[in-house]
Amino acid sequence: MSSRLACANRHERRWTALLLGSLLALCFLNGTTTMAQEKTEAAADPGENPFPGRFAAPDLDGGTEWLNTSGPISLKELRGKIVILDFWTYCCINCMHILPDLKYLEQKYPNQLVVIGVHHPKFDNEHDSQNIREAILRYEIEHPVVNDSDSTIGRNFNFSSWPTLVLIDPEGKYVGHQPGEGNRELFDNVIAKMITYHRAKGTLDETPVSFHLEREKQAPTPLRYPGKVLADPAGGRLFISDSNHNRLVVTTLEGKLIETIGSGAIGRKDGGYLEAEFDHPQGMALVDHRLYVADTENHLLRAVDLQAKTVSTVAGTGEQSHGRLTVADGPQPAALTALNSPWALQYLKGTLYICMAGPHQLWAHKPGSDTIQVFAGTGREDILDDQLDSSALAQPSGITTDGTALFHVDSEGSAVRRVTLGAQGEVTTVVGPHDLARGRSLFEFGDIDGPATKARLQHPLEVLFHEGQLYVTDTYNHKIKLVDAQTGQSKTWLGTGKRGTDVKSDAVQLSEPAGLTIVGEELIIADTNNHRLLAANLKTRATRILAIEGLQAPAPKQAPPADTTPIQDIPAQTVKAGKTTNLQLTFELPEGFKLNKAAPLTVQWQAASGDAVVDAAVLSTRQKLQTEGLTAHSPVALAGQGSGVYTLTISYSFCRDGTGGVCRFGKVKYKLPLTVAAEGAEAIVLQTREE
């Protein structure tokens, strides 16, 4: 959620101008460039800094913990790099939207740009580093993140709204900042010009850097951050959006695997189950033999034909909409209308209702038609009760029905809403603050049971109607709440309020649950951050893990990039015959750097020609080496006497003082002629030098 739109006030316009400089004026944000700008750009002196830093940027001191890296990072360590600081919070849909833009820039400028995420929390739950770590893994973030739980870094950089990107030049100077989303082209242009200038000046460091990512510590799991679940009692099926595996899982109601839908690769390809692609799908709705899917990060509405076993696209262009339609705009062509983070679906009386989280609205589509339209919400992010076309929603993320009305949860407003249909339809609040001045409803949250006027939730993501009650995933409180659909009376139904995995006692623990459905006498829960489903008895609340036998994580689809590391010839060595010899490496690193013990140092042997003097088992593995200071060693099993030629690929990482968060990759390849004889050295001795 963006607490203010980009360029919303004079303060933000002033600082934006610092970023754009003389080459890119504010109208560039709207996708246009004036003739005057073009003349200014053409007339600029090539030797003049197009984006001069105004002052030395404050350092990054004051964070609670550094994640996705092996240690704290200072801007001094990043001198020579262009740096983007991404001020974000993981609940925020707008913050999610800029992650693809940041990834695009990181991949386009891998040796010139470093992105640092500064996690500035909104909700209480977001102060916790472990919860941020889960968000890093769920959103697949590949740059360092610092937990700014005390707002120290935010104050130093005058932070005011989520998301905000801050630009720092290779000389450590603050250039400016830009709030809001949709600024990929802007930053791409600015970074390209900065690279040209600082490369010519000699102030750009293009040495590759690496970070010790959280994902390197994770083992595969059958489900990966499951988002939503949907029961089909008539068909005897359970559908699961296996969100971070980019697929749907279909089981029996008892949890026996039937099939998976989607290859597991990120994409938007239509076709059969094995070739179809999704991008972090969430909510589902079953209409006859068609399963509709909110393909969230593709910004698409998809349909699965369960008889033909095919996936097709119903609505959306595959690009995120940055515009805003209203109820008054009426039906739009489904195939030509860009969507914005569809998150949850509910079918009712011939219409499919869509929680469109990005523009803070509910949309509607009649299955079989070729149109889609806004159903409720102005697009303003708030909790305001009113008619369908004048009410305000806040990141709707879960939806259900009692057969007559709709109920949905607004996660950013921590509210449960009721939506009535028809010409006089309106949106009202069942639980949660509403109709407060200046958007204060977005910041009134907690964990309080009781009557509707006093009850508080914290970022709920799902709601399910059953027998007059609403089951709500009180996601950031790690609970399931039970809310009376008429009175709003709220109470904790399951969960201690502390994240965990225990299901064997009365104190059942959850971790940011996000999906609910009912199978018989049990509530099925997508226990998202625990990568599992739970089944809780509706009467006794006895809880068990619903395991899916035979389900495995999808195999990686992307082939590793070709290794272009040059092979260096080194002098032949002779070692003494025996069962093993010792490989000994000595590293010569730049001053102030040490080998990174948090990252593996490995050697891989390949036979090039000659006799088999090294045991075949050595050739089929990537051996880890033990390090002591600037030396590393490992035993090498020998096969017998003779001479052979081997290629050794040595991969390592080194950091400033051995503990810094900024590390550099190292890889060398040696062509080693090796002889094993009755008389020879006790070890293979190599030296690696890093400039």
> Which CATH number goes with the domain that contains 129?
3.40.30.10
If one counts every other C-beta atom within 10 angstroms of the C-beta of residue 164, the result is 26
Distance between CA atoms of residues 681 and 574, nearest Å: 6
Can you point out the beta strands (E) in 477-563? 479-484, 490-494, 515-519, 522-527, 532-537, 543-545
155-212 pLDDT, tens per residue? 999 999 999 999 999 999 999 999 999 999 999 999 999 999 999 999 999 988 888 8
- The reported pLDDT for the residue numbered 560 is 61
Which range (18-27, 79-88, 651-660) has the least confidence? 18-27
Q: Return left, alpha or beta for 188; rule: phi > 0 is left, psi -120 to 50 is alpha, else beta.
A: alpha
- Collapsing DSSP to helix, strand or coil, 361 comes out as strand
Banded pLDDT at 7 (limits 50, 70, 90): very low
Percent of the chain with pLDDT over 90: 80
Residue 532 has pLDDT above 70, yes or no: yes
Banded pLDDT at 17 (limits 50, 70, 90): very low
- The reported pLDDT for the residue numbered 628 is 85
CB under 8 Å to 227, separation ≥6 — which residues? 241, 243, 280, 281, 282, 283, 514, 515, 526, 528
- The reported pLDDT for the residue numbered 23 is 36
Domain stops at, among 216, 234, 261:
216
Q: Is residue 192 part of a domain?
A: yes
Distance between CA atoms of residues 24 and 15, nearest Å: 13
> Is the omega angle on the peptide bond into residue 560 within 30 degrees of 0, that is, cis?
no
Token reading at 312: 């097709």
Residue-number span of the structural domain to which 195 is assigned: 10-216
> Which CATH number goes with the domain that contains 628?
2.60.40
Distance between CA atoms of residues 127 and 602, nearest Å: 37
Residue 292 has pLDDT above 70, yes or no: yes
Whose structure tokens read 């042997």? 605
What number is the average pLDDT over the span 145-164? 96
330-379 pLDDT, tens per residue? 999 999 999 999 999 999 999 999 999 999 999 999 999 999 999 999 99
Domain stops at, among 161, 182, 216:
216
Distance between CA atoms of residues 301 and 343, nearest Å: 10
Q: Is residue 393 part of a domain?
A: no
Q: Is residue 604 part of a domain?
A: yes
Beta bridge partners of 163: none
240-277 pLDDT, tens per residue? 999 999 999 999 999 999 999 999 999 999 999 999 99
Q: Is residue 477 part of a domain?
A: no
Domain stops at, among 199, 216, 233:
216
- Collapsing DSSP to helix, strand or coil, 121 comes out as coil
- Tell me which DSSP letter residue 460 carries: -
Q: Is residue 42 part of a domain?
A: yes
Q: Is residue 67 part of a domain?
A: yes
Distance between CA atoms of residues 683 and 691, nearest Å: 26
Q: Is residue 191 part of a domain?
A: yes
Distance between CA atoms of residues 400 and 169, nearest Å: 49
Query: Could you tell me if 634 and 603 are in contact, meaning their C-beta atoms sit under 8 angstroms apart?
Result: yes
Strands 113-119 and 82-88: parallel
Distance between CA atoms of residues 65 and 228, nearest Å: 31
Residue 108: in which H helix or E strand, if any?
A: helix 93-108
Structural domain count, the chain: 2
> How confident is the prediction for the chain on average, in pLDDT?
90
- The reported pLDDT for the residue numbered 42 is 39
Q: Is residue 313 part of a domain?
A: no
CA–CA distances in Å: residue 595 to residues 248, 388, 624, 635, 691: 43, 61, 14, 20, 14
- The reported pLDDT for the residue numbered 504 is 85
CB under 8 Å to 118, separation ≥6 — which residues? 60, 63, 85, 86, 87, 88, 145, 146, 148, 153, 154, 157, 159
- The reported pLDDT for the residue numbered 26 is 30
Distance between CA atoms of residues 676 and 614, nearest Å: 9
